[in-house]
Chains A and B, each alone.
Chain A
Amino acid sequence: MAATSTGVDVARPDAPRPLRKSREGVSRAQQASLLTRSAIATALAVLAVAWLAPLFWALVTSLKYEADTTTVPLELVPEAGFTLDAYRSVLSNDNLITWFVNSTVVTLVVTALTLALSTTAAYGFSRTSFRGRGLLFGLVVAGIMVPPQILLVPLYQQVLAMGLADTYAGIILPQLVVPAMVFILKKFFDGIPRELEEAARVDGAGTFRIFWQVVMPLSRSIVAAVGIFVFIGAWNNFLWPFIIISDPDLMTLPVGLVQVQSSFGVRYAQVMASALLAGLPLIVIFMLFQRQIVRGVATTGLGGT
Chain B
Amino acid sequence: MSAVGSAAQTTVPAPGAVLDGDAPGGVRRRRGPSLTTSRGGFWFVLPFLVVYALFTLWPIVYGLGMSFFDTSLISGGAQFVGLDNYARLLGDGEVWRTLGITLLFTLLSTVPLVLISLGMALLVHTGTRGQWFWRFAYFAPFLLPVATVVLIWQWLFQGDFGLVNGALGLVGLPDVGWLSDPAVGLWSVVVLTVWWTVGFNFLLYLAALQAIPQTVYEAAAIDGAAGWRRLVSITLPLLKVTTGLVLTLQVLASLKLFDQAYILYGGSGGPGGVAAPVLQYVYDTGFVNYRLGYAAAISYVFFLIIIVVSLVQAGISRRRSA
Contacts and interface: CB of A to CB of B under 8 A. Distances in A.
Given A5-B210, A129-B41, A182-B48, A47 B1 contact: no
Interface string B25-51: 000100011011111111111011101
A34 interface: no
Nearest to B292: A153
B56 interface: yes
A202 B263 CA distance: 58
A25 interface: no
A179 to B, nearest CB: 7
A70 B161 contact: yes
A151 B56 contact: yes
A149 B256 contact: yes
A137 B144 CA distance: 33
B299 interface: yes
A150 B1 contact: no
A218 to B, nearest CB: 7
Interface residues of A, number: 130
B226 to A, nearest CB: 8
B59 A124 contact: no
A205 B245 CA distance: 40
Contacts of B24: 204
Interface in B93-140: 119-120, 123-129, 131-140
Contact of A286 (B52, B124, B140): B140
A200 B1 CA distance: 8
A301 B161 CA distance: 39
Interface string A25-61: 0000100100011001101100110111111011001
Contacts of A262: 266
B144 A199 contact: no
Contacts of B15: 195, 198-199, 202
B156 A54 contact: yes
Given A143-B52, A155-B59, A238 B147 contact: yes
A184 interface: no
Interface in A57-107: 57-58, 61, 69-74
Contact of B138 (A51, A140, A276): A51
A297 interface: yes
B147 A120 contact: no
Given A147-B256, A254-B147, A298-B207, A201 B35 contact: yes
A272 B7 CA distance: 59
Q: Is chain A's binding surface mostly helix, strand, loop or mixed?
A: helix
Given A44-B124, A48-B134, A129 B48 contact: no
B145 interface: yes
Contact of A257 (B44, B57, B148, B296): B148
B209 to A, nearest CB: 9
Contacts of B4: 199-200, 203, 205, 213-214
Q: Interface size bucket, B side?
A: 35 or more
Contacts of B145: 235-236, 238, 253-254, 257, 278-279, 282
30 contacts: A2-B131, A2-B132, A3-B129, A12-B129, A13-B129, A47-B138, A73-B166, A74-B163, A120-B48, A124-B44, A127-B38, A139-B57, A140-B48, A145-B307, A145-B310, A146-B60, A147-B306, A153-B296, A174-B55, A194-B36, A213-B4, A255-B147, A257-B147, A272-B151, A275-B151, A283-B140, A287-B136, A298-B203, A298-B207, A302-B249
Interface of B: 1, 4-5, 7-9, 11-12, 15, 18, 23-24, 28, 32-33, 35-45, 47-49, 51-52, 54-60, 62-63, 66, 119-120, 123-129, 131-148, 151-156, 160-161, 163, 166, 169, 195, 197, 200, 203-204, 206-208, 210-211, 214, 226-227, 245, 249, 252-253, 255-256, 258-259, 263, 266, 279, 282-283, 286-287, 292, 295-296, 299-300, 302-303, 306-307, 310
Interface of A: 1-3, 5-7, 10-14, 29, 32, 36-37, 40-41, 43-44, 47-48, 50-55, 57-58, 61, 69-74, 116-118, 120-121, 123-125, 127-130, 133, 136, 139-140, 143, 145-147, 149-158, 173-174, 176-177, 179, 182, 194-208, 210-211, 213-214, 217-218, 232, 235-236, 238-239, 243, 253-255, 257-258, 261-262, 268, 271-272, 274-276, 278-279, 282-283, 285-287, 290, 293-295, 297-298, 301-305
Nearest 7 A-B pairs (CB), nearest first? A128-B41, A298-B207, A124-B44, A154-B63, A6-B127, A121-B48, A199-B8
